[in-house]
Amino acid sequence: MASNYTAKDITVLEGLEAVRMRPGMYIGSTGPRGLHHLIWEIVDNAVDEASNGYANEITVTLKKDGSCEVTDNGRGLPVDIHPKLGVSAVEVIYTQLHAGGKFDDKNYAYSGGLHGVGASVVNALSEWCVVDVYVDYTHYQQRFESVEDPKTHKILSGKPVAPLAKVGNTRKRGTSVCFKPDPRVFEEIDFNSDTVRHRIRELAYLNKGVRFIFTDERIRDEKLRRVEYMYEGGLNDFVSYLNGEKTALTEPILYEGSLSDIRIRFCIQYTDSYTASIFSFVNNIPTPEGGTHEVGFKTALTKVFNDYARKCGVLKEKDNNLSGEDFREGLTAVLAVNVKNPQFEGQTKGRLGNTEVKSQVENWVDEKLSIYLEDLKNQASAKVILEKAIKAAKVREATRKAKDLARQKTELESAPLVGKLSSCTGRDAKLNELFIVEGDSAGGSAKQGRDRHFQAILPLRGKPLNSEKKRLDQVLANEEIRSLITALGTGIGEGFDISRLKYDKVIILSDADQDGAHIRAILLTFFYRYMKPLITEGHVYMGMPPLYKIQKGDKSIYCYDDKELASAMQGVSKGYTLQRYKGLGEMNPEQLWETTMNPEGRKLTQVSIEDDAEAERMVSILMGDKVEPRKDYIFAYADFNKKDDFKPVGEEGGRA
């Protein structure tokens, strides 16, 4: 190690070098989430043109060569020469960090891409990027490439091949950006068609009247290759879509308007479900972690309905107010605000931090919901909402003791785990793992085969309850669910506290059959409904046990799917034995450790939520009460010839 630390040891990263050196700082990761974030950055710029009234059509195209093209019919990027840098504005935008037209409100009243790094980051992390601008009846184009310096062998990111040039005349208007992610940066460079399509549809709901066209040229079927989205109903249509598989108790309640310099829109609808689903956005950017706008919305909702309950006599003077949790049971809500200077946490924009937004949203929502409740034609819906909240409050009080059991470390709480949970000896939660194992047989093997220093085992005796179909008190009455809550130590629902999590990794380990898949679905539904941060913060995994074992002499080869089996069988001469594992219980402790539990060689699939709204809809379809939507989905998407339940992508590198 060098003993002297001087000025010559300070590395200065110029231009876009810093982005390529630390891509995670700008796009979150170099995995699938970061890869798709490149598309969102360019799409956000196009949507900014539309949401500010300059464009009404946006196209996103996934091309056969692995590139993505985003086009809008807005004003087109400025093409004149920058007065200080002496190059075109296009070149400045795509080669300089923190350069753009969104740092004041002269060009955009509201913008999602406020950091000024989106376009340049996409260029820096692409193998090549081509920008076409159509303005003043002229077509301009500039190409950028990331090339290797022949002297230093370092990658020079996003360098212009030539200055911005006139290509010809045109009647088109707008900007088109086509880029190909650099395989030297990303773990994989194949865009997921469903991921992109879902986000495009979401943007169409948020920007009513704007036409979004999505094309995946890699799809052979012409009917599936191209799809258009445009919704004149906006948030009303969005909420109706989200609740399509639920039983609605009220019509959607929609309000749109402005207060000071903030534009606010919300739409709510109550269903017969037992959980709340709130989706919030700031300048068209999803805020899955909420923020001040969501806090203001929830506060107003609780206050308005409590005041109305007292005015109607449903709540007497001696009665306590109902909680926000009571009024949110069965609620589906979409909240969209536009803020001139939003303060997001990080470049990926997961949470809004502007303190002034809370009171502005709260006051505006309070006013609009009060108007709604005072209208005589809405009395029937208001009565339904109050009745549901009153029932929720009674259930909440009845289950208070059960919830306390889930939160507190008492002898009574630990009692259900006697003979069940095999704890680990390590006390560092960041290193510890909890395996949720199907059945006593597999649980016995896992207990013997584990490393007890950091691995705990919780065997399930029977299937847990499907929390999508039951009230909270019914869910907590299930012994397997109670054991799981106790083992994790975080509490659930409104009282969930991630800081009390006892295990960094919660690994679902079930058989690769229908029962095993059902158990995984039930557990994931419970986590999604009552312990959502477990998933969003990356603590939930699915273990991948092998399906086959090839044995020849003292050599064993484990195969995790049919493709691996076929490859292994080609490499082994005659005289081997083949074993098909029907369940984890067929493995002895040594085999289970070697194939499934040893961090050095196991395969885990990390569970994540890429599209919160679509995840909400999928849980309702697959785990809800209505049979027909589930049957339709299965017949439309299930591959009955596929033998694998899910595809492992490697230790801690996959997603489900």
DSSP structure string for 537-577 = TT-EEEE---SEEEEETTEEEEESSHHHHHHHHHTS-SS-E
Chain mean position to CA 633: 21
CA distances, 441 to each of 339, 520, 539, 546, 563 (Å):
56, 18, 26, 17, 28
Per-residue pLDDT band at 547 (split at 50, 70, 90):
confident
Residues of 429-443 as b/e, b for ≥16 C-beta within 10 angstroms? eeebbbbbbbbeebb
What is the distance between the alpha carbons of residues 76 and 66, in angstroms, rounded to a whole number? Answer: 25
pLDDT for 151 beyond 80: yes
In the chain, what percentage of residues exceed pLDDT 70?
88
- How many other CB atoms sit within 10 Å of the CB of residue 651? 16
Choice between 356 and 409, residue whose per-residue pLDDT is larger: 356
Q: Is 127 a catalytic residue?
A: no
pLDDT of residue 107: 52
Q: Is 513 a catalytic residue?
A: yes
Per-residue pLDDT band at 112 (split at 50, 70, 90):
low
**For the chain, how big is the Rg over CA atoms in Å?**
27
What is the distance between the alpha carbons of residues 256 and 263, in angstroms, rounded to a whole number? Answer: 8
CA quadruple 366, 371, 372, 376: dihedral positive or negative? positive
Per-residue pLDDT band at 1 (split at 50, 70, 90):
very low
pLDDT digits (tens, 9 = 90+) for 87-107: 999 998 998 886 554 444 555
CATH number for the domain formed by residue range(s) 235-394: 3.30.230.10
Phi first, then psi: give them for residue 509, nearest 5 degrees.
-125, 100
- How many other CB atoms sit within 10 Å of the CB of residue 102? 18
Which one of the listed residues 127, 511, 594, 611 is annotated catalytic?
511
Tell the CATH topology of 401-545+585-637: Rossmann fold (3.40.50)
Amino acid at site 323: S
Task: Retrieve residue 543's tokens.
Answer: 């273990």
pLDDT for 383 beyond 90: yes
pLDDT of residue 544: 87
pLDDT digits (tens, 9 = 90+) for 423-471: 999 999 999 999 999 877 888 889 999 999 999 999 988 778 899 888 8
Choice between 18 and 311, residue whose per-residue pLDDT is larger: 311
475, 477, 479, 481 alpha-carbon torsion, rounded to 10°: 20
pLDDT of residue 461: 82
pLDDT for 379 beyond 70: yes
What is the distance between the alpha carbons of residues 25 and 311, in angstroms, rounded to a whole number? Answer: 52
pLDDT digits (tens, 9 = 90+) for 46-55: 998 998 889 9
Closest CA to 40 of 101, 133, 113, 110: 113
Which one of the listed residues 149, 194, 375, 515 is annotated catalytic?
515
pTM, whole model, 2 decimals?
A: 0.80
pLDDT digits (tens, 9 = 90+) for 174-203: 999 999 999 999 989 999 999 999 999 999
Closest CA to 71 of 167, 175, 141: 175
Closest CA to 126 of 68, 78, 176, 174: 68
**Antiparallel, parallel or unpaired: β 277-282 and 285-286:** antiparallel
Give the class (CATH, top level) of 17-229: alpha beta
Mean pLDDT, the chain, integer = 85
Average pLDDT over residues 362-377: 95
- Grouping H, G, I as helix, E, B as strand and the rest as coil, residue 600 is coil
CA quadruple 488, 489, 490, 493: dihedral positive or negative? positive
Per-residue pLDDT band at 117 (split at 50, 70, 90):
low
Strands ordered across the beta sheet of 285-286: 253-259, 262-270, 331-338, 277-282, 285-286
Task: Retrieve residue 502's tokens.
Answer: 């006892």
pLDDT for 494 beyond 50: yes
DSSP string, 138-153: EEEEEEEEEEE-TTT-
Q: 193-206 and 612-623 helices cross at what angle (nearest 10)?
A: 110
pLDDT of residue 474: 86
pLDDT of residue 514: 80
Closest CA to 113 of 135, 124, 98: 98
pLDDT for 616 beyond 80: yes
> Is 573 in contact with 422 (CB distance < 8 Å)?
no
pLDDT digits (tens, 9 = 90+) for 342-356: 888 754 457 899 999
Q: Is 511 a catalytic residue?
A: yes
Which one of the listed residues 319, 513, 537, 562 is annotated catalytic?
513
∠ CA 436-555-653, nearest 5°, is: 40
Which one of the listed residues 49, 438, 611, 612 is annotated catalytic?
438
Q: How many residues does the chain have?
A: 656
CA distances, 303 to each of 7, 323, 422 (Å):
59, 9, 46
Per-residue pLDDT band at 108 (split at 50, 70, 90):
low
Choice between 371 and 259, residue whose per-residue pLDDT is larger: 371
Q: Is 235 exposed, middle or buried (0-12, 13-18, 19+ CB in 10 A)?
A: buried
Closest CA to 273 of 334, 335, 332, 333: 332
Per-residue pLDDT band at 645 (split at 50, 70, 90):
very low
Place of tokens 């108007």: 371
pLDDT digits (tens, 9 = 90+) for 589-614: 998 998 899 999 888 999 988 888 88
Q: For the chain, give every domain's residue range.
A: 17-229, 235-394, 401-545+585-637, 548-580
- Grouping H, G, I as helix, E, B as strand and the rest as coil, residue 429 is coil
> Is 551 in contact with 577 (CB distance < 8 Å)?
yes
> Is 110 in contact with 340 (CB distance < 8 Å)?
yes
**Antiparallel, parallel or unpaired: β 226-229 and 253-259:** unpaired
What is the distance between the alpha carbons of residues 115 and 349, in angstroms, rounded to a whole number? Answer: 10
What is the distance between the alpha carbons of residues 505 and 431, in angstroms, rounded to a whole number? Answer: 8
> Is 182 in contact with 51 (CB distance < 8 Å)?
no
Q: What is the DSSP letter of 641?
A: T
* DSSP run (H or E) holding 371: helix 355-374
Q: Is 515 a catalytic residue?
A: yes
